[in-house]
Amino acid sequence: MYDFTYRRPADLAEARAILAGDEGAQPLSGGQTLIPVLRARLAMPAVLVDLTALDELKGIAAEGGRILIPAATTHAEVAASGTVREHCRALAALAGGIGDPQVRHRGTIGGSVANNDPAACYPSACLALDAEIRTDRRRIAAPDFFSGMFQTVLEPGEIVTAVSFPACRGAHYEKFPNPASRFALIAVFAARLAGETRLAVTGGGTGVFRWHEGERAADGNGDLSEAALDEGRFTGDLHASVEYRMHLTRVMAQRALAKIH
Amino acid sequence: MEIKGSYLLPCTPQRAWEALNDPELLKSCLKGCERLEKTADDRFEGTVQARVGPVSARFNGSLTQTDVEAPHRCTMVFEGQGGVAGFAKGSADVTLDEAEGGTRLSYDADAKIGGKLAQMGARLVEGTARSMAEDFFGAFSAALAAERADTNAAASPAPEAATPANAPEVVPASSAAEAKSGPGRAWLVGLAVLAVVLIILWLA
Amino acid sequence: MNLTASRVKFGQSVKRQEDGRFLRGKGRYVDDMILPGQLYAAFVRSPMAHARITGIDADHAASMPGVERVLTARDLVAAGLPPLPCGWAITSRDGTPMKVGVRHALALDKVRYVGEPVALVVARTQAQAKDAAEAVIVDYDDLPAMVDVLDAMAEGAGLIHDEIDANCAFDWEIGDAAATEAAFAGAAHRIALTLRNNRLVPNAIEPRAINAGWDGSSEELTVYMTHQNPIGMRMFYAAAFGLAAEHKLRMVSPDVGGGFGSKAHNYPEEVAVTFAAKLVDGPVKWTADRSEAFLTDAHGRDHLTDVELALDGQGRFLALRVDTRANVGAYLSSSGSLVPTYMYATMLSGQYAIPAIHARVRAIYSSTCPVDAYRGAGRPEAAYVIERIVDVAARELGINPAEIRRRNFIREFPYQTPVVYQYDSGDYEKSLDAALELAHYAGFAGRRAESERHGKLRGIGLAAYVEACGIGPSAKLAKLGSGAGMWESAEVRVHPIGTVEVLTGAHSHGQGHATTFAQVVSDRFGIPIENVSVIQGDTARVQAGTGTYGSRASVGMSATLRACDRIIDKGKRIAAHLMGVDYDAVEFDDGLFSSKDSNVTIAFAEMAYAAHAAASFPTDEIEPGLVATSFFDPPEFTYPAGVYVCEVEIDPDTGTVEVASFCAADDFGNVANPMIVEGQVHGGVTQGIGQALWENALYDADTGQLMSASFMDYGMPRAQGVPDYKLVFSGVPSPSNPLGMKGCGEAGAIGAPPAIINAVCNALDVRHVDMPATPEKIWRLCRQGKAG
């Protein structure tokens, strides 16, 4: 780890001010990815701005048929939330399956979506459910928010404040975990929204994406085995080849659908 | 690790070749590039502040062209040091072929990566290489397209933006043994590779 | 102190005495120690797998803030620091001694694996040391990496050590080649198989750590090191490296957070840090980070083996022929030559009467981390070879896997195998029957049908293992090449008020010695276990011992028992005076000295007081005090054995292997504490499942980089991936020590891998699958099965 200054702002305004005033400042929201990176000396931010103590970023709420999950909510809190379970059980289950108990008690939804790891769980739920990502300056629809592996449209200093999901009881998250890391080797979030099937895939390697051909097949004869799948979405690594990941995508999607129909 | 790809550029091979040897243009297309200099006829040196997610590392790299057949092909030999993050070295063959709608740029790079990048970023190597290649060629084609739009004011319809004719294809390290490219296919060119290279340098 | 607390018995499931402080975060590890004037070390490590060092520029680094010193190999060599020794001499079959590649504590002219230390920076803070280490510039001339034995053995391959031909450290054999050949010539069946035993990373929770410094006041070199054998390390540091005279060297291993063998070795980093501490005259601390642990803690296994089994028409084994190429890594580590020879090939008889065995083992250098003992150390490799070939034989001859084993079991003990060992005791059929019953073996067909109804493939697998533990008989070990005796010592000190300290060279790093050694004392003396302290790991307190590894705590516990008996004997002599009876008439039972010739009884604590008061017996005949020491050198090894039955359920659509059930029937002889032993089996089996299904130290063939160098990519087993284990101990006491114990620490890691792979092969109806049986590998086999 290189030396850095740790800041724990009292409110969002102060956090914004620190981030705006220092190009080397970086938000810290649970640190389940960032801290290991710092320990490996693979990044050297001058200032870390800890967002997890901000009251403005806490407190799950239901509002007008939607669930609002503030950014500093931990995965464990989402998993245990009665509100989330009532309105979208699949989302609570997803949160309860992230990493391990240590990760779930530190990692936050804001950190996860802002990091947009290509194998993270939350981005698939955001995409499948048409979540809205709220920041300190705007509201962004999920499809516009995630722009590539580890990439989002967040501007420098912009802070994710909450993620808003529609209530959706017809949803299921089916994950094939990487045996080592428990990230998704492939996972599919399936949802029925406004009478249509949505399938969002994570773990492919290049970033979360909607599988539109799979969705059409699901709404057609329901058989995904022949639905077109873009090979360009997938990469191989020491755990899984492209071919295997594509196969798992079909299997996970089919299984997820079976659980919501 | 082998990384291959090909892109359709909206210009002639000659123009693509020039662009690939234009440090300023390249620099503007390569995200995080802080410095790129042509230090000899056949050599570039540069610094890239590369970022992937929370990881950030500064790479100093050099690139030497061999077997140059302007404006058609060359081989680039590259080497980059990222300090604690690790190193990358290897070579890439680049070709420019006339094609319908412009010039097809193809590259085929064989890279060796070492240090923490290789040890801790195994799952991200391929995706990162691909995404950086796409970013670079996207920007590069867009720059060439903008140039053509300028010169051809009202002429033909706006050229399509960079078309990844083939998504870059990466042969992961674990299967590198059988996929290693033979030394026989010595071609090529351009600095495009530089991108690919810096890409590779980057990784994870 | 609670003097009315519990008296416990040997064999009772006493709760672990040490867990309270661990659970409260009161454990004390090397990294917790901060000494006055503390300095910190950081290593410059090779990012290359194989390269010549053409230059090291440390000028800038040496001038950075806080930097005290930058050391390279040249400094060590100039000061006369010798290279690291390999502790076990092996002779090749042509009579030549093994060829040991020179290993300096810092790489001298070449680097030979990724992560090899090249330079050492000492600075005032850890961050300053790391900053300066980053600023040391090392120039390398790249050489080809060779990570696989076949690459390193290939015609024309480069040399890891320029002076060692063909990268071969030794080409060794054991057994009777001619008899084996003759048996094969006349055999009705010959079954052959080629298999790999995958390379593993040990991954103790606590990484390696050292804090070394010269103490000017005591004129001692004090070294705090997380290690399984601190007393042995003191001897090494004194005798092999001359870092200090043995009586001026204090070695302390406080709490140690797991070892699995990886902390029994002598590593270059620790030697370099100790050398640096003397040079800068201040305490220097180094704690490995997890990346360093992955890259440089001696790895385990990595064998490529051709095995052939000859059988007669009735499925009886006639002969076994084995040809193993052991990848020993870049250098021969401390026991790097022992593990693939006398820890491995000597176990190839398994539980079976095999008239002829011949094994050839070639130890091959490669550009990888050195390989050394890791939980089981050679014995898991042997069990895997024999239990896989036996299973393949059963499959190809159409004999039930349990039946073919039963037909070939050794039934008479002691049994002399054709490969050195003489098994002392056992009842293999009893363990087999117990395991089959525990597993409801007869009901498997029904469970398989049930799995099929859910679209799953179910398989059952057996493995019968035997291992040699309790090392060891020193004279026998010397004949096999050992340079050191492997007895164990215990000193039992009884205080005037009757509390007891046991000082032993055995060293617990998770095994629970504070409980089990105290149980021996509590049971023998009839005193509460709370009144017994077990002291270990500090040469200022415990002077003699050889450490804990290879499931050998029975040796230290036997020494403890003998020391207790010497105390009791002295107590009886004192009691004879106190009671006015003959020595022969004094008895000691349940904490009381008594005699049929007297109505006086003396409690143990009273005796302790009397021994120190020294007022009631003639001190010219009996010296005061109540202290006894024992050095126990066992007459033989012990031979734990067992049978494991495992069921797996495979999802053919994803290739996932789920361990549906795991049953273990182990013969550990007498068991000190069943609860602790169960924990040892749970841990061992879990590590075995990890090896079979997930763990793999994967080097890139082209670059020699370790690809699975973090927990993101290295598949450590997790609690959720393993079933509730069903265990039964079917013990036959060992005649090789007074407690009848055999050892239990490694069994699970030895027996589990073949049980799992046998079950996977059974489920898929295939001949063989190499470990780890990853989902993609299994999915491809399922798909082939469907297609073909």
**pLDDT tens digits for C241-283?**
999 999 999 999 999 999 999 999 999 999 999 999 999 999 9
- Min Cα distance A87 → chain B (Å) is 31
Residues in chain B whose beta carbon is closer than 8 A to a beta carbon of chain A?
A: 52-57, 84-85, 116, 120, 122-128, 130-131, 164, 167, 170, 172-175
Residue C685 and residue B88: Cα distance in Å, rounded? 40
What subunits make at least 3 CB pairs under 8 angstroms with C? A, B
- Min Cα distance A131 → chain B (Å) is 21
pLDDT of residue C285: 98
pLDDT at C382 over 90: yes
Out of B116, B123, B127, the one facing A40 most closely (by C-beta) is B116
pLDDT of residue B139: 87
Return the bridge partners of C416, or none. Answer: C422
CA R_g for chain B: 16
Instruction: Please report residues of C whose CB lies closer than 8 A to that of A180.
Output: 694, 708, 711-716
- Considering the four listed CATH numbers 3.30.300.210, 1.10.3720.10, 3.30.1600.10, 3.30.43.10, the one that applies to the domain covering A5-50 is 3.30.43.10
Fill in the amino acid letter for B133.
A
Instruction: Please report residues of C whose CB lies closer than 8 A to that of A3.
Output: 127
**pLDDT tens digits for C621-648?**
999 999 999 999 999 999 999 999 999 9
**pLDDT tens digits for A48-85?**
999 999 999 999 999 889 999 999 999 999 999 999 99
For testing contact with chain C, the best of A44, A248, A252 (most C CBs within 10 A): A248
Spatial contact of C600 and C578, defined as CB atoms under 8 Å apart: yes
Residue A100 and residue A172: Cα distance in Å, rounded? 20
Tokens 């090909």 — which residue? B6
Instruction: Please report residues of C whose CB lies closer than 8 A to that of A244.
Output: 655, 775-776, 779-780
Instruction: Please report residues of C whose CB lies closer than 8 A to that of B118.
Output: 700, 703, 705-707, 709
A121 in contact with chain B, both atoms CB, cutoff 8 A: no
Q: Which of B151-160, C139-148, C609-618 has the lowest mean pLDDT?
A: B151-160
Here the ipTM equals 0.95
Sequence spans of domains, chain A: 5-50, 55-166, 171-260
pLDDT of residue C5: 58
pLDDT at B169 over 70: no
A-B C-beta contacts closer than 8 Å: 75
- Min Cα distance A181 → chain C (Å) is 4
How is domain A55-166 classified at the CATH fold level? 3.30.465
**Contact A116/B55, CB-based, under 8 Å?**
no
Contacts of A169 (CB under 8 A, 6+ apart): A87, A88, A89
Residues in chain B: 204
pLDDT of residue C787: 56
pLDDT of residue B177: 31
Instruction: Please report residues of A whose CB lies closer than 8 A to that of B120.
Output: 40, 42
pLDDT at A219 over 90: yes
Out of A44, A115, A236, the one facing B126 most closely (by C-beta) is A236
For testing contact with chain C, the best of B120, B170, B174, B178 (most C CBs within 10 A): B120
CA distances to A50, B40, B73, C301, C695 from B92, rounded to whole Å, are 43, 19, 11, 37, 34
- Min Cα distance B13 → chain A (Å) is 26
| Model confidence band, residue B151 (pLDDT cutoffs 50, 70, 90) | low
Q: Average pLDDT of chain C? A: 96
In this structure, the number of other CB atoms found within 10 A of the CB of residue A48 comes to 21
Instruction: Please report residues of A whose CB lies closer than 8 A to that of B116.
Output: 40, 42
For the structural domain made of A171-260, what CATH number should be given? 3.30.390.50
**pLDDT tens digits for B48-95?**
887 777 888 888 888 888 898 989 998 988 888 888 888 888 888 889
**pLDDT tens digits for C530-570?**
999 999 999 999 989 999 988 899 999 999 999 999 999 99
Out of B116, B127, B164, the one facing A206 most closely (by C-beta) is B127
Out of C49, C134, C713, the one facing B122 most closely (by C-beta) is C713
pLDDT of residue C694: 98
Instruction: Locate the chain B residue with the closest alpha carbon to C144.
Output: B112
Question: Comparing C-alpha atoms, which of A98, A94, A109 is closest to residue A57?
Answer: A109
Residue C125 and residue C122: Cα distance in Å, rounded? 9
| Model confidence band, residue B185 (pLDDT cutoffs 50, 70, 90) | very low
- Min Cα distance C284 → chain B (Å) is 23
- Strand ranges inside C639-678, DSSP E: 641-651, 656-667
Q: Which of A40-44, C352-356, C383-387 has the lowest mean pLDDT?
A: A40-44
**Contact C702/B177, CB-based, under 8 Å?**
yes
pLDDT at C2 over 70: no
High-pLDDT (> 70) share of chain C, %:
99
Alpha helices in chain A (DSSP H): 12-21, 34-39, 75-80, 82-87, 89-96, 101-104, 109-115, 122-128, 142-145, 212-219, 242-260
Q: Which of A113-122, C116-125, C471-480, C594-603 has the lowest mean pLDDT?
A: C471-480
Mean pLDDT, rounded, for C212-227: 91
pLDDT of residue C138: 95
**Contact B173/C702, CB-based, under 8 Å?**
yes
Instruction: Please report residues of A whose CB lies closer than 8 A to that of B128.
Output: 149
pLDDT at B201 over 50: no
**pLDDT tens digits for A89-141?**
999 999 999 999 999 999 999 999 999 999 999 999 999 999 999 999 999 99
Out of A100, A180, A240, the one facing C712 most closely (by C-beta) is A180
Give the side-chain half-sphere CA count within 13 A for C484: 21
For testing contact with chain C, the best of A117, A181, A255 (most C CBs within 10 A): A181
Largest Cα span, chain B: 52
This model's pTM is above 0.80: yes
What subunits make at least 3 CB pairs under 8 angstroms with A? B, C
Question: Comparing C-alpha atoms, which of A195, A200, A219 is closest to residue A210?
Answer: A200
Contacts of C717 (CB under 8 A, 6+ apart): C686, C687, C689, C690, C693, C694, C695
Residue B127 and residue A233: Cα distance in Å, rounded? 9
CA distances to A124, C32, C151, C235, C714 from B41, rounded to whole Å, are 48, 57, 40, 62, 45
